Amino acid sequence: MTVLAHGVGQSQDLPLPLDLVLQTGAATVVVSFLVVAVWWKRPRLRLAEGPERPVRESPLRWLVLAVTLYLVGNALLGPRGPENPAGHALFVWLWVGLVPVSVVFGPVWRQVNPLRTLFRLLRLPAAGLRPIAPGPASRWPAAIALLAFVWLELVAPHRGEPVVVGGWLLGYGLVQLACAAVRGEEWFARGDCFEVYSELAGRLSPLRHRNPLAGVAHTAPGPGLAAFLAVWWGSTIFDSASGSPAWAAFLQRAGNPILYGSAGLILLCAIVLVSVRVLSGRLDVTASLIPIAVGYTLAHYLSLLLVEAPRGVLLMVQQWGLAGGVEWNVAPTPGVIAAAQITLILIGHVLGVVVAHDMALTAAPERPPLATLADELPVVLLMIGYTWAGLFLLFVR
């Protein structure tokens, strides 16, 4: 079973010629930078941000736990064919659907995380625990966990087969619970890649933050944030690149797709990480990449979400003997999807420019304005490169 055919829009479906789209992307970043340079003379996001609304447990956590246990059991013991919704549940509902849900409602996965619920139900012994020390949260464990997930999604053989999906979910859950038993429940806030993923996307939620951009600008830096965003954004770029004829031809000549796929995935994530660390100059504006990652993820997986998310629900319902004979064969209009993808990417980059500028002003309020703008120039160039890469790889196959 394959649920990983993401693209609908292609270069011939673009509302404008590809070269004009690339020029528009670069111009959008530059113009947005010039506008905020002229009109944004002092930090504003800090002043606009009020206290965060607390994250409370949701009664939906019991439903999510029940659905999770059912899907894992069904993946391991249920049908082996494409009628099993396991792949849709992991690769579409969780990986793709969690982004728009978190952008709207905030870090929802923390509220319904089935691993947290199971951890409390099991009442794992507290003796010998080494609680996580207070201080900036390290997201390196989540970055490593996310790399393991995207490797499964993009490289692993037979990744769409239900038993592979179920086995990965079972193994992932056991590792996370074991780590939480050693480090305490707050392990999930820095070790569960889906909870961190939802928390970062939820920084843009207007229901969570009075000013969503302030929510992004005030993201606690901590070690591993850049690595997590590099894996998040880099893996999505690799997904686009690995769908190109050039990559397919290379693998056909070289053979060993697992080796080269793994190397390519890790290399691209490492390039993104190095570019963030080196090209951003003296500014640490890592959090400004959050809207860029969100925008590109929504753009890249838009057609997959519209087509495969409802189909997965239908497959699960049909396993219960309901809605027999019903089909979901929606085919989004390629031109409309392409226009929406361009818009999402550009919005993400514009928001990233605004957040980066405000963070630069906050970090060095005593510096002259021109000096601050000079510090931001490498960041703008980096974002132009990201814009070109994102648009090019999304529409050139």
3-state secondary structure the chain: CCCCCCCCCCHHHCCCCHHHHHHHHHHHHHHHHHHHHHHCCCCCHHHHCCCCCCCCCCCHHHHHHHHHHHHHHHHHHCCCCCCCCHHHHHHHHHCCCHHHHHHHHCCHHHHHCHHHHHHHHHCCCCCCCCCCCCCCCCCHHHHHHHHHHHHHHHCCCCCCCHHHHHHHHHHHHHHHHHHHHHHCHHHHHHHCHHHHHHHHHHHHCCCCCCCHHHHHHCCCCCCCHHHHHHHHHHHHHHHHHHCCHHHHHHHHHHCCHHHHHHHHHHHHHHHHHHHHHHHCCCCCCHHHHHHHHHHHHHHHCHHHHHHHHHHHHHHHHHHCCCCCCCCCCCCCCHHHHHHHHHHHHHHHHHHHHHHHHHHHHHHCCCCCHHHHHHHHHHHHHHHHHHHHHHHHHHHCC
At residue 14 the predicted structure's pLDDT band, cuts being 50, 70 and 90, is low
Annotate 282-307 with b (16+ C-beta within 10 A) or e (fewer).
Answer: ebbbbbbbbbbbbbbbbbbbbbbbbb
At residue 42 the predicted structure's pLDDT band, cuts being 50, 70 and 90, is confident
Q: Is residue 315's pLDDT more than 70?
A: yes
The residue that leads in pLDDT, 6 or 53, is 53
Angle at 37 between CA 275 and CA 386, to 5 degrees: 25
Average confidence score pLDDT of the chain: 84
At residue 279 the predicted structure's pLDDT band, cuts being 50, 70 and 90, is low
pLDDT attached to residue 49: 45
What distance in Å separates the CA atoms of residue 220 and residue 274, rounded to the nearest whole number?
20
Residues 6+ apart with CB under 8 A from 175: none
pLDDT attached to residue 136: 58
At residue 8 the predicted structure's pLDDT band, cuts being 50, 70 and 90, is very low
59: its two tokens: 């009664």
The pTM score is 0.89
358-373 pLDDT, tens digit each: 888 887 777 787 777 8
The residue that leads in pLDDT, 83 or 195, is 195
Q: Is residue 91's pLDDT more than 60?
A: yes
Instruction: Tell the residue number behind the tokens 């670069």, with chain if given.
Output: 26
- Where is average pLDDT lowest: 165-169, 185-189, 244-248? 244-248
pLDDT attached to residue 99: 96
284-303 pLDDT, tens digit each: 778 889 999 999 999 989 88
pLDDT attached to residue 47: 45
223-265 pLDDT, tens digit each: 889 999 999 989 988 988 887 788 888 888 888 899 999 999 9
Question: Quick check: 85 and 319 in contact, CB under 8 A?
Answer: yes
pLDDT attached to residue 6: 46
pLDDT attached to residue 397: 54
pLDDT attached to residue 54: 59
102-153 pLDDT, tens digit each: 999 999 999 999 999 999 988 755 444 455 554 556 899 999 999 999 999 9
